[in-house]
């Protein structure tokens, strides 16, 4: 079992038909047949690629996008209550947006990140392959086209992407399968 190199993509499919379709698509986008392998993976427990930091970042951005307007409105209300009648409405709105927007960024970002962090805290990302299961592994040496290869594999039904490559028993020549 090898750790996946930066430019390797190892996608798991549940049928030979899905694997055949993805091979055809990968050849169509310019990968060569010698850059593709297909096989039946050995049973075992394999670590999946982890994109948790990307999900956490997306959660923070969504939280900030919600937190700024909500915080600004709350800030306007608090400033208006604190200085009632002592400042102009424009000053109240400006200070409220500044004050509330800052806290909206802070608490919104935090509120967006925490659920994502908690979701990944206990979740070990593993895929268990059982003896005689239907899984077919397609391995592509993607070079600089890793994102394109993942998109093609996802579109064709990849169930998971491995962070480590299990030993495989070949199911045939990749070119013959795709042909």
In the chain, CATH 3.30.70 covers: 2-50+125-178
* Res 25: pLDDT: 94
**pLDDT below 70 — which residues of the chain?**
1-6, 50-54, 119-124, 169-179
CB contact at 8 A, 96 and 76:
yes
CB contact at 8 A, 24 and 38:
no
- Is pTM, for the whole model, over 0.85? no
Topology at the third CATH level for domain 2-50+125-178: Alpha-Beta Plaits (3.30.70)
Alpha carbon distance 133, 43 (integer Å): 8
* Res 140: pLDDT: 92
């Amino acid at each position: 079992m090898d750790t996946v190199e930066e430019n390797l993509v190892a996608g798991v499919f549940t049928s030979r038909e899905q694997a055949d379709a993805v091979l055809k698509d990968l050849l169509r986008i310019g990968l060569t047949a010698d850059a593709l392998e297909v096989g039946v993976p050995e049973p075992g427990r394999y670590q999946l690629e982890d994109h948790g930091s990307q999900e956490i970042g997306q959660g923070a951005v969504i939280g900030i996008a919600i937190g700024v307007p909500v915080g600004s409105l709350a800030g306007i209300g608090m400033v208006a209550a604190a200085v009632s009648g002592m400042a102009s409405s424009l000053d109240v709105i400006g200070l409220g947006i500044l004050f509330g927007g800052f806290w909206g960024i802070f608490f919104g970002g935090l509120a967006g990140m925490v659920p994502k962090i908690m979701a990944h805290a206990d979740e070990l990302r593993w895929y268990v392959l059982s003896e005689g299961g239907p899984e077919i592994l397609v391995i592509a040496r993607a070079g600089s086209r890793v994102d394109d290869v993942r998109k093609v594999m996802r579109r064709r039904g990849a169930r998971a992407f491995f962070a480590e490559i299990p030993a495989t028993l070949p199911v045939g020549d990749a070119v013959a399968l795709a042909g």
